Amino acid sequence: MKLVELSKLGRTVTGKTPSSNNPDDFGDLYCFVTPTDSLQFKFIENTDRSLSQVGADRLKGKLLPPKSVMVSCIGSAMGKVVMNRRPCVTNQQFNSIVVDQLHHSPDYIYYALKNNYRMLRNAATGSTALPLLNKTDFDRLKLRVHDDKDEQVRVATILSALDAKIELNNRINAELEGMAKLLYDYWFVQFDFPLTAAQANAMGNPKLQGQPYRASGGKMLYNETLKREIPEGWTDGNLLDVATFTNGIACQKYPADGGDTLRVIKIKDMRAGLTPDSDIVTANVPTKVKIRNGDILFSWSASLEVMIWAGGEGALNQHIFKVTSDTHPRSFCYFVLLDYLRHFRMMADLRKTTMGHITIDHLEQSQIAIPDDAVAKAFEVITKPIIDRMVKSHEENQELTQLRDWLLPMLMNGQVTVG
C-alpha cells in the first residue's frame, strides 16, 4: 500500500452556485447537489434543485461526470462522501474528485474517503460549528491506498455489493410505500374504498360488492365543517381525535448511570439512523418515550417529517412526537398524518421561515374526514403486511450497514484481503 495525495487521484473540482439573477440556469436536467440533500447513501439520485443545460454550460468546468466522488467540506455535513451515476453539479461547499480511472477505481476511492471521515473532519479549519476544508488543504491530504488497481476493484466490489443490497431494499420500500399511499388516496381522499356486502345490498345491487364506493353511486353527504361531501357514516374531526401525540423528553435530564442504556433518537437520526456516536441515556426513561421498530414518529420542528421507525430501540428526544392510537389502526394514523403533512409544510412556508414548528394547537385545528371502523380496519388488513415488510427491510439494512462498516477499515488497511 502507498500514501497518495488527493490531488494525485484525479482532478479536483470545487462546485459553484448559479446566480439567482439567472433563473434560466435552473431546470430538471442535472442534479444540483448541496449539503442539505440526503447524503446518507453511496449514490445520490435526487436533489432539491436541478440545473438546466444553460446553467451547466454557464458553470464551465463544474459539470461532474458519472462516478465522481463528492466530499462535503463545510458545516455539519463536513466529511460526508457520495457518488453520482449521472452528470451533476455541486455547490461551492463540495470538493469533488474526478478520479483518474486509468490508475484508480472510483468506487475504491469513495470507500477510502468514507473510511477517513475523521481525517477529513480533523483537517478542517474554522469553528466547531462551521468547519471548513478548502481546496488547497483538501488536495494536500493523503490516503493510504492499495498499489494495484485490480486489488482496488476487488475490495470495492465486496463493499459495493453490500451497498447495492441496501439500495435495493430502499427502492423496494419506496415502491411499497408508494402502493400504500395510492391505496390510501383511493380510499380516503377519493372515497373509492370497496363496497361491503351490506352497502351493496342497501343500494339494491349485491353485485356491486367490492366495487369502488363513490364511483358506484355510494351515498355522499355534505359536511359543513369540511365543506365537502364525505361518505355516509363518516364524520369530521382532527388528528387528535384519531391518535395520541406524545412529545419526546429533554434527554440530558436522564444521563447514563452505569446501567442499561438507550440511544437517543433526535431529528437527524430519523433518516440517518442511530450510530455509535448517538447520545445515550439511562434505560430508565419514561416508558411512553421508549421507541421500538414499527412506531410512528413525527418531527414537529425543523424538518417536519413523518416516518415508521425501524432503527432499533431508543429514547425519543424532544421536538419529535410518538404517534399512537387506541381507537384507529396504525396504518390509517400513519397515512392520514403523512397526507396532512403538506398542510403543515404550507403553514411553515407562509410564515416565511425554514423552521417549521407544529404545536398541539395546530393538531387540534386540523380538519380530516374520519372513516367508519369497518373501512379503517379493512385498510389495515391490506397495508399492515406492507408496513411490516418495510420495517423488516430497514432492519436488514441496519445489519448490512454494520457489516459494511466493520469490513471497511479492515479491507482498507490490508488486514483483510479478497481472495
pLDDT at 351: 64
Higher pLDDT, 23 or 193: 193
CA distance 91 to 14: 8
pLDDT in tens, 348-375: 776 655 456 888 999 999 999 999 999 9
User: Does 302 have pLDDT greater than 90?
Assistant: no
- Count helices and strands in the chain by DSSP H and E runs: 11, 25
Higher pLDDT, 251 or 64: 64
User: Does 152 have pLDDT greater than 90?
Assistant: yes
Please give the model's pTM, rounded to 2 decimal places. 0.85
User: At 318, which amino acid appears?
Assistant: Q
CA distance 60 to 92: 14
- Report residue 275 as a C-alpha cell: 450510530
Confidence of residue 380 (pLDDT cuts 50, 70, 90): very high
CA distance 265 to 322: 11
Residues in CB range of 254: below 8 A, 6 or more apart: 281, 282, 284, 285, 315
Q: Please tell me the chain's helix, strand, coil percentages from 3-state DSSP, rounded to the nearest 5.
A: 40, 25, 35
Which pairs with CB-CB distance under 8 Å and at least 24 residues apart come from 284-289? 284/254, 284/257, 284/259, 284/260, 285/249, 285/251, 285/254, 285/315, 286/249, 288/246, 288/322, 289/246, 289/248, 289/249, 289/315, 289/316, 289/322
